[in-house]
Amino acid sequence: MDSWKGAFFEQGRQSIKIPVPVYIRASASIAGSKEGDGPLGDLFDMVGVDDKFGSNTWEEAESTLQKETLQLAIGKAGLSGEDIRFLLAGDLLAQSMASSFGLASFQIPLIGLYGACSTCGLSLAMAAALIVGGMAQYVASVTSSHFASAEKEFRYPLGYGNQRPLSATWTVTGSGAFILSSLKGKKDRAVITGLTIGKIVDLGMKDSMNMGACMAPAASSLICQHFADFGRTPEDYDQIITGDLGLVGQRVLLDMLAEKGFDLSGKHMDCGIEIYDEKQDAHAGGSGCGCSAVVLSALILKKLEEGEWKRVLFVPTGALLSKTSFNEGKSIPGIAHALVLERCS
């Protein structure tokens, strides 16, 4: 009896194998004006002219972002809201308010998640797990962030015009939504073939204006564990893509992985670095739950579709802090979750 485990899909210490295909049937991305002006501007499905997206508050603006993005993704999949079994969603606001007010009208059973800026990875991972487990045919994942609601939530009122050090990142205004399915469609964007769930890594760093450095150890730990769990090396991937480490975090990550014997140079990409141009004064890069989500939908899935990449490791990263924990002098632990994404054959 004790030899039967029932845990058929365990893979190594932190991973889940995906023996039946989980298809990304469709996705959508809506971004703010600054993101629209950046290098990926033409790739987003929609770009807001007004960053309030017609709403009265920044929080409502973020809720509107989630709502419109999910609606767009469901439409692109040729489905209606009733076809979606579960909604997996989260954001950076206290008590996940962007999701609560953005998603109520869909009337889809909601699984609320929190992994800071890694929530896009966590929600896709849990969505894939529900499909692999036979619990749903269609599942949707949606995450968002908004520069102005995040500044208000974590830092200073925008009106203060406070200065930012060069190691700081700029919270992306944007939302990405994904429709996952157990059914092969006519034109799926990619397939999810593996998951690695991260643990909290806390090296004691406390600088909220250098979140890349706070998160890089978690990304390094997760990537090493992923390689161990699946018996793979960087050679097995065309690209390894972190969420929002930015320029400082990227350097820390590459150094930490080099110490472990993994050379990622030439095949590491960070969504936070890709989303803004150097001239846009975003300093170390973009961040937020929306950052990896919009880059996944607009850029990464596109490159998989076009065949430029065959298999990538997508690793959204999160910094676990609140303004209370920061004010109480706590450290900023990191977490990261990974998905193996492959080109649909």
264 closest CA partner among 310, 215, 312: 312
Closest distance of CB 249 from a copy of itself, Å: 19
Facing residues of 317 across strands?
336
| Nearest-angstrom CA–CA distance, 122 and 96 | 15
Q: Which is nearer to a copy of itself, 137 or 162 (CB)?
A: 137
Do residues 264 and 257 make contact, with C-beta atoms less than 8 angstroms apart?
A: yes
| Near a copy of itself by CB under 8 A: residue from 136, 177, 245, 257 | 136
Contact 291, 174 (CB under 8 A): yes
- Find how far residue 211's CA is from the centre of its chain: 15
109 conformational bin, left if phi > 0, alpha if psi -120 to 50, beta if neither: beta
Should residue 80 be labelled a site residue for a copy of itself when binding is judged by CB under 8 A?
no
244 binds a copy of itself (CB under 8 A): no
CB of 269 vs a copy of itself, minimal distance in Å? 24
We find the least distance from the C-beta atom of residue 188 to a copy of itself, in angstroms, to be: 13
Q: What is the footprint of a copy of itself within residues 205-224 (CB under 8 A)?
A: none
Considering only residues 38 to 57 of the shown chain, the ones binding a copy of itself according to CB under 8 A are 57
Distances (CA, A) of 129 to 1, 133, 146, 193: 25, 6, 28, 11
Give Cα separations from 133 to 180, 182, 192 (angstroms).
Answer: 13, 10, 14
Binding residues among 82-121 for a copy of itself as defined by CB under 8 A: 85-86, 90, 92-97, 100-101, 103-104, 107-116
- Residues 144-163: x/- map of binding to a copy of itself (CB under 8 A)? --------xx----------
Please state the separation of Cα 268 from the chain's center in Å.
16
As a whole number of angstroms, the distance between CA 196 and CA 14 comes to 6
Residue (45 or 51) nearer to a copy of itself, CB:
51
Q: Is 184 in the site for a copy of itself (CB under 8 A)?
A: yes
Site for a copy of itself in 305-344 (CB under 8 A): 320-325, 328, 330, 333, 335
281 SS3 class? coil
Decide: 336 and 118 in contact? Cβ < 8 Å. yes
DSSP assignment letter at 192:
E
What is the β-pairing status of strands 311-315 and 338-342? antiparallel
Residue 187 touching a copy of itself (CB under 8 A): no
Q: For a copy of itself, which residue of 54, 78, 133, 157 counts as binding (CB under 8 A)?
A: 133
C-beta closer to a copy of itself: residue 60 or 270: 60
Interface residue list for a copy of itself (CB under 8 A): 1-2, 4-10, 14, 16, 20, 57, 59-60, 85-86, 90, 92-97, 100-101, 103-104, 107-116, 122, 126, 129-137, 152-153, 182-184, 197-200, 202, 320-325, 328, 330, 333, 335
